[in-house]
Chains A and B, each alone.
Chain A
């Protein structure tokens, strides 16, 4: 019963809004979620829940593959460090509100020590511990080798290494050119650009949330919901034929999901206007092209002019930084937007020019 419900809820159509909402709550009530009490209770509750998940044969089949062990570790670490930083930030924010300095700025924490031996010893110990850990891991879990490569056959499901499953999930919604080249490139470029875009000196060397809300929200949304959540979907919820399967569902090869995707141009020309597709390629895709330009070109300007927060950003950052930031942010948001459009309207591509290998 409960398992069936969880299987239903796990479907990205439902679990993605849940993840977004949960993220929003976590940010909004970060002082509650970052409290020691919540951390303790979450840990206590999670242990039997995880045990219950493991007890399910279908779930166990997924989690026990050697490939997926790192994901278990990743999830535990992500949960812990998210909680840990929220906790530290909550404590500091409360102190700052009372007019005190953050904990990290207390005199006893500003004391300086020599990097030799203090830091070097710690590093040495970390190196040894990591090596030992990897050796033991390598002994316990055999490398998951498969049969020799065959260019006319692919395993089903064909899964990327676990850390790329977020990208593979992205490919379900985008052209390979977008999801494989442009978006990952922008992710890397955007991460590199952060220190140049975000020149706010607050929060250097101490944890805080209140003093740099938007930076933290936009980063954590991209990281937790658009990256980690998509990895979870790719690992646990995708089975043969890349069809959705709940975490407790048996991977039945013949599960049929009716789906029929159409492009925006077909929506408008055939369904909306009822006059068939024009021959001219540009004319055929004109609505998609206009929409894309509006999305990338007009929204940032409009936000800067018409909304309070946009005006504030624009003033704080200056125009060049503001537009670079907005471009990166808007590109990031194109992923959830396209996911939702696919689910609601079975929309395949907004601009579909397969003749030019150009699809957005």
Chain B
């Protein structure tokens, strides 16, 4: 009992321990939230999910690559329909190239090939390219909405939102 001045008693020890432990957890939580924030990019280069794509009169029959680099969409006009075709390969998500002379999309990663309509016919791609929601605004502009996709193997390509009649 004589050295009680310079040594901790039980109660003091626990209060120190509590303070220390709270600080330690707080530091850990701060570090964790910083690390979490770090995993999100500072600048986002992803293309917009919604955009205006001119008027129906802008398009000639065939594949239009105007919006491909900015938004990742091919506008394809064929058989009286204008559709917004995704440019993401259904195999592993590479970006195919449009080959105008062969009239097909061809993926540089494993060689999948798609017709102009987006239907897959060669290589390993298991299903056709997806199409995006496309609609005509009251002011005559075309709006493409990439948040809604239409998949051919589910029979969604005939959905009225999946194409514009032109």
B123 in contact (CB, < 8 A): yes
Interface residues of A (CB under 8 A from B): 149-158, 168, 171-176, 180, 240-243, 254, 256, 259-261, 348-349, 352, 354-355, 357, 359
**B109 contacts A168, C-beta separation under 8 Å:** yes
B107 in contact (CB, < 8 A): yes
B110 in contact (CB, < 8 A): yes
**A254 contacts B101, C-beta separation under 8 Å:** yes
Bin the interface of chain B by size: 20 to 34
**A154 contacts B124, C-beta separation under 8 Å:** no
**B110 contacts A168, C-beta separation under 8 Å:** yes
Instruction: Report which of A171, A173, A354 forms a contact with B153, defined as CB distance below 8 A.
Output: A354
**A355 contacts B153, C-beta separation under 8 Å:** yes
Nearest A residue (CB) for B112:
A242
**B122 contacts A261, C-beta separation under 8 Å:** yes
Instruction: Report which of A154, A180, A260, A348 forms a contact with B95, defined as CB distance below 8 A.
Output: A154
Given A156-B108, A242-B111, 16 other A-B residues pairs in contact with their CB atoms under 8 A: A151-B46, A152-B47, A152-B69, A152-B72, A152-B95, A154-B109, A157-B109, A158-B94, A158-B108, A172-B111, A172-B123, A174-B124, A240-B108, A256-B102, A352-B126, A359-B126
**B92 contacts A173, C-beta separation under 8 Å:** no
Contacts of A254 in B (CB 8 A): 99, 101-102
Q: Considering the chains assembled together, what is the distance between the CA atoms of A109 and B69 in angstroms?
A: 66
Instruction: Report which of A154, A175, A352 forms a contact with B108, defined as CB distance below 8 A.
Output: A154
Contacts of B71 in A (CB 8 A): 152
**A241 contacts B97, C-beta separation under 8 Å:** yes
Given the known inter-chain contacts A241-B108, A241-B111, please indicate yes or no for A152 contacting B68, CB distance below 8 A: yes
Given the known inter-chain contacts A152-B87, A240-B108, please indicate yes or no for A259 contacting B69, CB distance below 8 A: no
Interface residues of B (CB under 8 A from A): 45-47, 68-72, 87, 90-92, 94-97, 99, 101-102, 106-111, 113, 121-124, 126-127, 153-154
Shortest Cβ-Cβ A-B pairs, 10 listed = A242-B111, A354-B127, A156-B108, A154-B95, A259-B122, A176-B92, A152-B72, A241-B106, A354-B126, A158-B108
Contacts of B109 in A (CB 8 A): 154, 157-158, 168, 171, 242
**B45 contacts A154, C-beta separation under 8 Å:** no
**B97 contacts A261, C-beta separation under 8 Å:** no
Contacts of A173 in B (CB 8 A): 124
Q: Considering the chains assembled together, what is the distance between the CA atoms of A158 and B91 in angstroms?
A: 14
**B102 contacts A348, C-beta separation under 8 Å:** no
Nearest B residue (CB) for A175:
B126
Could you tell me the distance in whole angstroms from the C-beta of B66 to the nearest C-beta in chain A? 12
**B91 contacts A176, C-beta separation under 8 Å:** yes
Q: Considering the chains assembled together, what is the distance between the CA atoms of A241 and B98 in angstroms?
A: 11
Nearest A residue (CB) for B94:
A154
Q: Considering the chains assembled together, what is the distance between the CA atoms of A176 and B87 in angstroms?
A: 18
Instruction: Report which of A153, A175, A357 forms a contact with B69, defined as CB distance below 8 A.
Output: A153
Contacts of B122 in A (CB 8 A): 259-261
Q: Considering the chains assembled together, what is the distance between the CA atoms of A254 and B125 in angstroms?
A: 21
Nearest A residue (CB) for B111:
A242
Contacts of B154 in A (CB 8 A): 355
**A150 contacts B45, C-beta separation under 8 Å:** yes
Q: Considering the chains assembled together, what is the distance between the CA atoms of A171 and B113 in angstroms?
A: 14
Q: Considering the chains assembled together, what is the distance between the CA atoms of A65 and B101 in angstroms?
A: 30
**B70 contacts A155, C-beta separation under 8 Å:** no
Could you tell me the distance in whole angstroms from the C-beta of B64 to the nearest C-beta in chain A? 14
Instruction: Report which of B45, B101, B110, B126 forms a contact with A349, defined as CB distance below 8 A.
Output: B126
